[in-house]
Amino acid sequence: MTACEFQPGLEGIPAAQSKVSFVDGQAGKLEYRGVPIEALAENSSFLETAYLLIWGKFPRADDLEILQAEITHHRRIKYRIRDMMKCFPESGHPMDALQASAAALGLFYSRRALDDPSYIRGAVVRLLAKIPTMVAAFEHIRNGNDPVSPRDDLSYAANFLYMLHEQEPDPLFAHILDICLILHAEHTMNASTFSARVTASTLTDPYAIIASAVGTLAGPLHGGANEEVIMMLDEIGTVENVHPYLEEKLATKSKIMGFGHRVYKVKDPRAKILQKLAEQLFAHSGSDPAYEIALELEKAVAEKLGERGIYPNVDFYSGLVYQKLGIPTDLFTPIFAIARVAGWLAHWREQLETNRIYRPSQVYIGDHKLPYIPPDQR
Ligand code: CMC
């Protein structure tokens, strides 16, 4: 193998061979296991999509029923995890709470048997089942309330909204959240997936893998951007202020949140679907003035940055959807995590199939042969 040139951010360097998903950034296409995202958003459910991602094929009706039943059965979390969360500061970010709680699952399910398919399945089920419960539990605990127990008669998305709001959700809200989960479930070799695969390659347990990926997703250049979009739209405040705001950001070389992507050079196909979902919600339960600001900003950014391939990404419209579903802003990224667990687990399984520990090289640019300097001479 020849030494290759250093690429900041490993841009363009393949970090794995994968069959999980595919992106064509010029054409704006995304497929999970070869199936276009539009077809999944239109026809599938999050759990069916998770099955497709993790096991590489669509489940038969009975496979899906069994998975749904197992997940429903494992939704509860141990009281010790709830008690642990009660010790977290209420001012802490829910992504930090989620990272700590996901890692803590490893303490309770510490048997590791990576060559046993029933162990793998058990971990997949537990993580898909318990992550939403942990997100909803922290929301109640930080507000001084007891968590709401999951309801076995509700679907995955409906149950999450129920645990969050303690009331059965409007079926349209549950349906739209389920589509959002499908859209966020997987996205090739992004930072958190890379982090998951690196962690997986050491043959550690899946809870450590998910905790590491959650920590990576939390940053504002990755999953955290959806929160920042809402703050930005608030800060812009009016449609008239869009152009002055953009000019100022461009003059100071600041990033416009929710725009740009390492791979997509056109509008992210997920942003197109999310925009339609936002419009469906506004038609159902009233418009949101922030949407007008978002539309104007999209137009203005296309004029200024379009020729450089900077267009709305998945985070631009998701916040508007979540806000309309009554979800607090700092839970947007944890909801991204709930969905992305499916993709991370698919990559975990794939990594195990042909594992070799990640151990890249570096280009050393420091000094050599320097003398030791005694403390009193520094
Ligand atoms: N606003 C203004 N300029 C931008 C933006 C933006 N949102 N995105 C990229 N650019 C410019 C950037 O300033 C740079 O210009 P120059 O060449 O003059 O220095 C050029 O485009 C390349 O940017 P980069 O940051 O080197 O590109 P990247 O591929 O490393 O980063 C990105 C991709 C998503 C981190 C970046 O576009 C960004 O920071 N966007 C804003 C944050 C955001 O919305 N993140 C969500 C990403 S999608 C979902 C996810 O991954 O979780």
pLDDT value, residue 224: 85
Of 1.10.260.40, 3.30.230.10, 1.10.580.10, 3.40.228.10, which CATH number belongs to 18-218+336-353?
1.10.580.10
- Read off the pLDDT band of 355 (50, 70, 90): very high
**Among candidates 236, 312, 222, which has minimal Cα distance to 270?**
312
Nearest alpha carbon to residue 147 among 129, 159, 130, 135: 135
* CATH 1.10.540.10 is the classification of domain 225-324: no
**Number of other residues whose CB lies within 10 A of the CB of residue 353:** 7
Lowest mean pLDDT among 18-32, 130-144, 217-231, 263-277: 217-231
Choosing from 261, 267, 317, 318 the residue with most ligand 1 atoms within 8 A of its CB, the one to mutate for a pocket test is: 261
Distance in Å, CA 260 to ligand 1 centroid:
5
Q: What pLDDT was estimated at residue 111?
A: 84
pLDDT at 283: 94
Residues 155-188: tens digit of each pLDDT: 999 999 999 999 999 999 999 999 999 999 999 9
C-alpha 288: how far from chain center: 24
pLDDT tens-place string over residues 277-326: 999 999 999 989 999 999 999 999 999 999 999 999 999 999 999 999 99
Name the percent of the chain lying above pLDDT 70: 99
- Indicate the pLDDT class of residue 1, thresholds 50, 70 and 90: low
216 has pLDDT over 80:
yes
pLDDT of residue 142: 97
What single-letter amino acid sits at 263? Answer: V
**Nearest protein CA to atom 18 of ligand 1, as residue:** 253
Give the whole-angstrom CA distance, residue 219 versus residue 191: 10
Q: Which of 7, 13, 188, 255 to mutate to test the pocket of ligand 1 (most atoms within 8 A of CB)?
A: 255
Query: What percentage of the chain exceeds 90 in pLDDT?
Result: 94
Report how far ligand 1's centroid is from the alpha carbon of 222 (Å).
10
- Residue with CA closest to ligand 1 atom 36: 260
Q: pLDDT value at position 110?
A: 84
Catalytic, 261? Answer: yes
Active-site hit among 178, 187, 205, 261: 261
Q: Is the pLDDT of residue 367 over 90?
A: yes
Cα 24 to Cα 9, 29, 339: the distances in Å are: 19, 5, 21
Torsion of CA 113, 117, 120, 122, to 10 degrees: -100
Please say if the pLDDT value at position 2 is more than 90.
no
Quickly state the pLDDT bin for 5 (edges 50, 70, 90). confident
Domain ranges in the chain? 18-218+336-353, 225-324
Q: What is the pTM of this model?
A: 0.95
Quote the ligand 1 centre to 333 CA distance (angstroms).
18
Average pLDDT of the chain? 96
Q: How far is it, in rounded angstroms, from Cα 49 to Cα 40?
A: 7
pLDDT at 4 over 80: no
Q: How many CB atoms lie within 10 A of CB 258?
A: 27
Pocket test of ligand 1: the residue of 313, 332, 335 to mutate, having most ligand atoms within 8 Å of its CB, is 313
Tell me whether the CATH fold assigned to 18-218+336-353 matches the one assigned to 225-324: no
Q: What is the pLDDT of residue 358?
A: 97
Nearest residue (by CA) to ligand 1, atom 34, is 261
- Model pLDDT for residues 59-95, shown as the tens digit of each residue: 999 999 999 999 999 999 999 999 999 999 999 999 9
Distance CA 257, CA 232 (A): 7
